[in-house]
Structure 1
Amino acid sequence: MRPAPQQRILLAVLCLVALVDRAAAQEAAAAPAEAATPGTSLSRGYSLQDADDVALPLNPVKPRSAATEQRMDALGWFMTGRMFDNRFPREASEAGAAPDGRVKQERQKALKAFRKAVKLEPDTIDLYRYLIPLEIEFKNLEAAVRYGEKVAQLDPDDWKIQQLLASNAAESGQLPDAIKHLEQAVNSPRMDKHSPQYVLLQKSLGVLYARTGQTEQAADAYEILFDVVKNPDKYGLDQRAQKVLLSDPLTGYEQIGQVLLEAKRLESALDAFERAAKASPRLGVGNLSYNRARVLFLSEKYDEALVELDKYFDAQKRSKGRLPYQLLAEILAKQNRSDELIRRLEAIAENDAQNVDLQYFLADRLTDVNELERARNLYDSMLRKGGDASGYAGLARVLRKMQKSDELLDALGRGFARGEDAIAMLEPEVKAISQDKALMEALVESGRKRAKSDELKFEEALLLAKFAAVMKEAESSGEFYRMAIALNREGRPTVLIQLEMAEMFLKLRKYPQAVEAFGEILNSGQLNDRGQAMTYSSMAQALAYDNRTDEALAAISKAIKLDDDEAQYRFYEAWIYGHAKRWDDAIQKFEQLIRDFPDEKRMILVTQFSLSNVYVQKGDVKTGEEILEKVLEDNPDNSQVNNDLGYLWADQGKNLDRAESMIRKALAVEPDNGAYLDSLGWVLFKLNRVEEAIPPLEQATQKSMGGDGTIWDHLGDVKLKAMHVDEAISAWTTALKHLEEEGTSDVQLIDKIKDKLKQHGGIQPKPADKDAP
């Protein structure tokens, strides 16, 4: 008969004690015992019923150490977790043995018990094997990954854990980390290299290698997959599993051939393409001709490649989109016959007039050689027949070159109305237009005319709002955003447009307008609690920048109350105090944040940087330096701490050689980071290597990242030391302009720059007022 729950608990505890201290248990068991009755002290033993043997407490001869006591506690929690975990197994609940709610409660108790066991014994790997599945079951993925990372440290050869970490990293977009974990999984000595699990891991690796441009590594993985689909029995795959692999676009013969071709493994690639043709006879003939042409092209057999490509064209195949015509252009270029391309395309088009990809490719080439009217007519013709999103991108390119603003606005608006795919295709054109201020101004003027005659469309208004923002015309941008909101019928949610407008005002430092726009969003009633919290947070930033500190603190306080995940909003609260130069309040809030959220590692790191900066701004450079030194000790490869501490040392003129080394280490990770380039220039200047300091500082001025005034000030100092006085004056003048635009409250820096300009003739004294006494 199965023991009752109370008996099982008692027996579990007694067994644990016996395992830890068996000798003492035997000695105690040999002593005479008295039967216990209810109410009797447990020191005299205990029995559930009168006829039961008395269970005596086991008093060890030698007192246990603290470590042993902790291990005992961990074992107790582990056994408790196992009991709750096994009471209603998942398969039993599925069979209807217990109500779902009861099962969930039991398993939650198991989860809590295992967590306590792991906390007491963090280096006992078996505990995690019970905890992690429960964390995943209750969708606590962040915790599961954190525990998985611990297991990976304790046992790098656990391929299942590596697979879990890889999956999480890939879903988070951290592809290098995902690849690292997958590599450890496939190389684990416990991994059977001829198992379905190995095949799955190689598939994941191959796909990630291909996505990250690691051509050779991707080809290595796909060589294995090629062997798998040719010899499934060798890897324990049945016929169904083989079909699944071959029907997957990521692992079919065609994709295998594509990956191998990119790595120039031509023989294997051709083999894969030929198998693809046999597997799909309907598409096979034309596709095989195209793929053979690619192989021949890479083999530098250009005439033979053209022959195979012509077979594809003669069959009037369209499965490869524009790629065959691009290949034709590349072959002719290799033969110095590019002048034949348009003629050849026109001849193919005569026999395949309904081929949209061909017509668009021809129109693109006509645009390249500035035959703009012919290209425009071709685009218009295809778009009247329906066309696709790429037609609007091509037409926009032609009209941009022709500087036809009114027609360009119409083409862009129609393209944007086609949805996300069209918007993505139009992006390069929008970027090109954004670099042509005269054309943007003409587009805005066209938009205003349309608005007056009620002809402006929603997509056009939204696009013009973005162009006006690029031109830093906040008022015009806001005007068109409001038009878009009024015209919005079945488009995107209005709140998203309002949010774009508010963020535009914030970015362009129009803080009162930003506050008003965020207020409109909050009053719209379209946001859930989390959305309201995020909006209050953004409003708080705008208020802080507008030097309305008390209102900013009130706004961030509302964000904190609305969202349970308080850490980021508590950070902004501390930042607001710092921005207002209320240093002691900022320090108290940052330090409290670190204490309250010990598990938020990334937030703590950011907070430490901010806390250090507050101490430095307050004048306590020593404490600010000590914080960064501790961060460096814990995170020696972190680029920001290497830069920030290096810059702090450079600014004080100390530890200059090490500071240079640390800043260069940061730049190796982020070579285009403007702040890091500024730091390098500044430390080289302090090392009296003036000519070396100029290039990184000049590069830093080209990176728009905030703090531009300080960078230009540094450049001015270096130029002066290099005896380029006029260039120094120009740099300081630019620094002053940036500081005024930024609305900085750093009065000391502004006064220093003005003094430098006066000293070197950059600022002329104002003439005296003739009416002054």
Structure 2
Amino acid sequence: MALRHCGQSRTRRSWSGRIILACLSFQAAGIACADEPAKPPASARLQGLQVQPGDEPLKAFEPARPESAQEYSRRAAMALYMKGRIAQEHGRFGDALEAYLAAVEKDPLAIAAYKGALPILLQRQEIEKARKLTLSAAEKDPEGYELVMAMAAVFARQDQLHEGIQLLQSALKLPNLKPHSLEDLYLRRDLGLYYRLQGNYQKSAEEYKIVFDAVTDPALDPEVRKKLLSDPGQTFDEFGDVFLKSEQPELALKAFGEASKHREAKPGLHSFNLATVFRQTGKPQQALEELQHYFDAQMQTRGRAAYELLRDLLVELKKQDELLPRLEAMHKQDEHNDVLRYFLADETLAANNVPRASDLYTNGRENISDPRALVGMFSVYRQQRQAEKLLTVMTKAFSTVPRADEQAALQQMAPDVRELATRFEKEIKAFEEDEEAFSAVTKYARTLEEGDEPKLEFLQAYLLGKLATENNHTEDAIHFYKYAISMRNDPPAQLYTELAGQLIDTQHYKEAAELLNEAINHTSTGLQREKWRLLYLLSYAQAFQGQTEAAVESIHEAQKLQPNVSALHQQEAWILYHARRWDEALALYEQVINNYSGDKEVATKCRFHISNIYVEKGDMPRGEQILEDILTEDPDNVQANNDLGYLYADQGKNLERAETMIRKALQQEPENYAYLDSLGWVLYKQGKYEQALEQMEKATTLKHGDDSTIVEHLADCLEKVGRHDEAVAAWQRALKNEESKTPPSDRVLKSLKGKLMIENKTASPEKATAPK
């Protein structure tokens, strides 16, 4: 009988069924060693073999037609894919990536090879290469669109929504994508989601409308509809919410109507949705009536949003005095509704009825654990100055409530969690700014350190140290961080890096270097594993002290420990940049770009520094061109819009365009002190001195806003509006700040001394005058 290939798959996606065949193809794919002795083909070795007595001898299978070049490429690609899998299993990720990419080159339809390569590229931070490979997979095969969506989801989880959006937009432009196909609608659904998380409801609504129109079209394939609407009620609700927020109430009403078809058992939800529509269309009384139907059903599905809507409607109807009585009545009827109870507690506390609010938060319990109660009692105990209870509640709250100090992270939280995190952040800020309460807690915490058996817990010491850094209480920060460090034989590197970051931020460079050297020389396994990060931070502390060679030595040591981390090579260039050794820094930045050519983010960061180097060297056109090139590639790049706008303003040219660009950057980062300075400067150059002064004053009040150039700009504005004495004081402050730098900028020093009419370099700024 003839030996045949049993169960061999004919589809190109089924790799597992071809493993044996792939293994026999290693030599054909160029994988076998060159000096391996030649062996007879497997078929020749089996020729004539009898498996059992009486069986026909085995004969080699001869295909009816010869193997095509395409089939040969597929076999070779499978062999390379298997080589990559084996290398990956043994931790040889570089070899694995090389094999996967070779498989893709052999067979561009080998989706499994793309799937193997992408995680490795992402881990190596070769983002641009991963992006191109993903789009290439989608262009070759519809299954590749799954990779596009997966990679966009990775960006979203890393708070890089902009990159995820750009990837999906690129995929939607691919020529093989058919409009209203399953892949097209999937991409648009995800794109709408990411725009929603970004807070861009107009763009989100545009994408959601395409999907909504498609899934409500009876002509759509039912299987496609089913895949897109795994939870129809929730999906249509989300569409309706976005349509409402983009001020399209009629479209929202249609979406909510579709949602209600899938929730016949919960008519109260439809009443809530109608209430939101009526409110936006200026019908608060009808909205209130519909909302009452939702409350009558004793539903909790919409969480705090329903009670917040009630509050807002009563304000619009000028019936705000009815809020607490209504909430109390509903609470009496529905005592097990915790959402209602905590909302009532919050509103009661806002009305300064602390005893009633405390009763609602604690609900008769001595030991509370619910995050909503913890945040509420955090505020109560702060106002009452109860240091012991405040420390206890604060520790619990930090363990359960997410911090919400970044807008991107906030947008991705569920609404009730987002509201709680936002409120917690406000309470933390209030605590940090409440000197009496903060001092009471730190004083009480220090008493817990006393005695043979200290009672201050590790987490408590860490939290107090962290809050002290956020509030620039450097002495407290050092004390509590070091106490936390002393409590661990193997202290986390995070304790050292956070405290060192604070010391560097507050210009305690010597203390930061001493702390980091302590960590670097520690015998802890964990700290030794993180030694390269500690050296990276140490290089900053050294560079800011003017110890350029020591900083370079530290970063070289870090590079030896982690040779493939691009940030370490960028840091070496930055050290020379900070030392104003422009030519050396320029060469290193260009080297980093060449070595990490596949990483667009790394290249862009380096290009910003290169642009500034050319500006410092007096080659303004070249510095501008680099920024213009970045904007050609990415017109929405925030930093490029600001930096180029500032360069235009500084030269007094293209002022209207410069203002537009800078305002575009500020839309994304409204609290960025440098961008506020740029806006102030372009307004100054346009002769709008009062408006310019407003921006400069805001910039100088923010963290790091005391930069000498920004303070100089503030002084220039003050002089123009006739506040001469304040201008002189600001110029003096700017000069003092610049002279404290190592090294200072000769250009900035010359400008400031010229304005203060300081002829003698050793003259005291305090004795300087300026012309009126």
- How high is the TM-score relative to the length of structure 1? 0.71
Deviation of 1:406 after TM superposition, in Å, equals 4.5
Q: Deviations over 1:450-469 (max 9, x none)?
A: 43474433343233213322
The residue that corresponds to 2:254 in the other structure is 268
| Larger-Rg structure | 1
Deviation of 1:536 after TM superposition, in Å, equals 1.3
* Higher RCO (CA < 8 A, seq sep 6+): 2
Residue 370 of structure 2, aligned match among 368, 388, 392: 388
Q: In the aligned structure 1, how far is the partner of 2:494 from the partner of 2:428?
A: 20
Deviation of 1:482 after TM superposition, in Å, equals 2.4
Residue 665 of structure 1, aligned match among 631, 652, 661: 661
Residue 245 of structure 1, aligned match among 218, 223, 229: 229
When residues 633 and 752 of structure 1 are mapped into structure 2, their CA distance, relative to the original with a 3 A threshold, is: closer
Assess if the C-alpha contact under 8 Å between 1:256 and 1:272 holds in 2.
Answer: no
Query: 1:218-237 counterparts in 2 under 5 A?
Result: 218-219=204-205, 221-222=207-208, 234-237=220-223
Assess if the C-alpha contact under 8 Å between 1:157 and 1:189 holds in 2.
Answer: no
Query: 1:582-593 counterparts in 2 under 5 A?
Result: 582-583=581-582, 585-593=584-592
When residues 162 and 631 of structure 1 are mapped into structure 2, their CA distance, relative to the original with a 3 A threshold, is: farther
Assess if the C-alpha contact under 8 Å between 2:103 and 2:113 holds in 1.
Answer: no
Q: In the aligned structure 1, how far is the partner of 2:262 from the partner of 2:25?
A: 62
Structure 2 SS opposite 1:472: coil
Q: Deviations over 1:251-275 (max 9, x none)?
A: 3x54455445554235424423432
When residues 509 and 83 of structure 1 are mapped into structure 2, their CA distance, relative to the original with a 3 A threshold, is: farther
The residue that corresponds to 1:360 in the other structure is 342
Structure 2 SS opposite 1:480: helix
Q: Which amino acid aligns with 2:154?
A: E
The residue that corresponds to 1:201 in the other structure is 187
Residue 318 of structure 1, aligned match among 284, 290, 300: 300
Query: 1:320-339 counterparts in 2 under 5 A?
Result: 320-339=302-321
Query: 1:572-611 counterparts in 2 under 5 A?
Result: 572-583=571-582, 585-611=584-610
Deviation of 1:507 after TM superposition, in Å, equals 1.8
- How high is the TM-score relative to the length of structure 2? 0.72
When residues 321 and 707 of structure 1 are mapped into structure 2, their CA distance, relative to the original with a 3 A threshold, is: closer
The residue that corresponds to 2:494 in the other structure is 496
Moved more, 601-610 or 751-760: 751-760
| 1:112 and 2:102 correspond | yes
| 1:466 and 2:466 correspond | yes
| 1:568 and 2:567 correspond | yes
When residues 541 and 246 of structure 1 are mapped into structure 2, their CA distance, relative to the original with a 3 A threshold, is: same
Query: 1:691-770 counterparts in 2 under 5 A?
Result: 694-705=693-704, 708-720=707-719, 723-736=722-735, 738-739=737-738, 745-746=744-745, 749=748, 753=752, 756-757=755-756
The residue that corresponds to 1:515 in the other structure is 513
Query: 1:7-86 counterparts in 2 under 5 A?
Result: 83-86=72-75
Deviation of 1:364 after TM superposition, in Å, equals 0.9
Q: Which amino acid aligns with 2:190?
A: S
| 1:621 and 2:607 correspond | no
Q: Which amino acid aligns with 2:102?
A: K
Q: In the aligned structure 2, how far is the partner of 1:718 from the partner of 1:192?
A: 57
When residues 209 and 555 of structure 1 are mapped into structure 2, their CA distance, relative to the original with a 3 A threshold, is: closer
When residues 741 and 351 of structure 1 are mapped into structure 2, their CA distance, relative to the original with a 3 A threshold, is: farther
Assess if the C-alpha contact under 8 Å between 2:25 and 2:79 holds in 1.
Answer: no
Deviation of 1:726 after TM superposition, in Å, equals 1.0
Deviation of 1:557 after TM superposition, in Å, equals 0.8
Deviation of 1:338 after TM superposition, in Å, equals 1.3
Q: In the aligned structure 2, how far is the partner of 1:341 from the partner of 1:743?
A: 60
Q: Deviations over 1:134-178 (max 9, x none)?
A: 344333545695476499799999987777556534422343454
Q: In the aligned structure 1, how far is the partner of 2:657 from the partner of 2:593?
A: 30
Q: In the aligned structure 1, how far is the partner of 2:450 from the partner of 2:469?
A: 21
Assess if the C-alpha contact under 8 Å between 1:647 and 1:683 holds in 2.
Answer: yes
Assess if the C-alpha contact under 8 Å between 2:233 and 2:258 holds in 1.
Answer: no
When residues 643 and 301 of structure 1 are mapped into structure 2, their CA distance, relative to the original with a 3 A threshold, is: closer
Query: 1:277-426 counterparts in 2 under 5 A?
Result: 277-278=263-264, 281=265, 284-295=266-277, 297-298=279-280, 302=284, 305-381=287-363, 384=366, 386=368, 388-418=370-400, 420=402, 426=424
Assess if the C-alpha contact under 8 Å between 1:145 and 1:164 holds in 2.
Answer: no
Assess if the C-alpha contact under 8 Å between 2:138 and 2:144 holds in 1.
Answer: no
Assess if the C-alpha contact under 8 Å between 1:254 and 1:276 holds in 2.
Answer: no
Q: In the aligned structure 1, how far is the partner of 2:421 from the partner of 2:488?
A: 17
Alignment length, in residue pairs? 666
Assess if the C-alpha contact under 8 Å between 1:81 and 1:114 holds in 2.
Answer: no
The residue that corresponds to 1:171 in the other structure is 154
When residues 759 and 540 of structure 1 are mapped into structure 2, their CA distance, relative to the original with a 3 A threshold, is: closer
When residues 742 and 363 of structure 1 are mapped into structure 2, their CA distance, relative to the original with a 3 A threshold, is: farther
Q: In the aligned structure 1, how far is the partner of 2:501 from the partner of 2:573?
A: 22
Assess if the C-alpha contact under 8 Å between 1:608 and 1:628 holds in 2.
Answer: no
Query: C-alpha root-mean-square deviation of aligned residues, in Å?
Result: 4.8
Assess if the C-alpha contact under 8 Å between 2:240 and 2:253 holds in 1.
Answer: no
Q: In the aligned structure 1, how far is the partner of 2:81 from the partner of 2:576?
A: 56
Deviation of 1:661 after TM superposition, in Å, equals 4.0
When residues 737 and 91 of structure 1 are mapped into structure 2, their CA distance, relative to the original with a 3 A threshold, is: closer
The residue that corresponds to 1:25 in the other structure is none
Structure 2 SS opposite 1:234: coil
The residue that corresponds to 2:44 in the other structure is none
Q: In the aligned structure 1, how far is the partner of 2:103 from the partner of 2:448?
A: 68
Structure 1 SS opposite 2:191: helix
Q: In the aligned structure 1, how far is the partner of 2:555 from the partner of 2:169?
A: 44
Q: In the aligned structure 1, how far is the partner of 2:587 from the partner of 2:203?
A: 51
When residues 635 and 313 of structure 1 are mapped into structure 2, their CA distance, relative to the original with a 3 A threshold, is: closer
Q: Deviations over 1:218-251 (max 9, x none)?
A: 456555655666678732407xx72883437853
Q: Which amino acid aligns with 2:731?
A: W
Structure 2 SS opposite 1:277: coil
Q: In the aligned structure 1, how far is the partner of 2:299 from the partner of 2:645?
A: 61
Q: Deviations over 1:167-213 (max 9, x none)?
A: 53442234345445545656777544554334423432332343233
Q: Which amino acid aligns with 1:730?
A: A
Deviation of 1:560 after TM superposition, in Å, equals 0.9
Structure 1 SS opposite 2:514: helix
Assess if the C-alpha contact under 8 Å between 1:729 and 1:762 holds in 2.
Answer: no
Q: In the aligned structure 2, how far is the partner of 1:100 from the partner of 1:486?
A: 40
Q: Which amino acid aligns with 2:441?
A: L
| 1:134 and 2:134 correspond | no
The residue that corresponds to 1:553 in the other structure is 552
Q: Which amino acid aligns with 2:332?
A: E
Assess if the C-alpha contact under 8 Å between 1:270 and 1:295 holds in 2.
Answer: no
Assess if the C-alpha contact under 8 Å between 1:84 and 1:110 holds in 2.
Answer: no
The residue that corresponds to 1:430 in the other structure is 428
Structure 2 SS opposite 1:346: helix
Gaps of 5+ in 1: 11-78, 118-126, 767-773
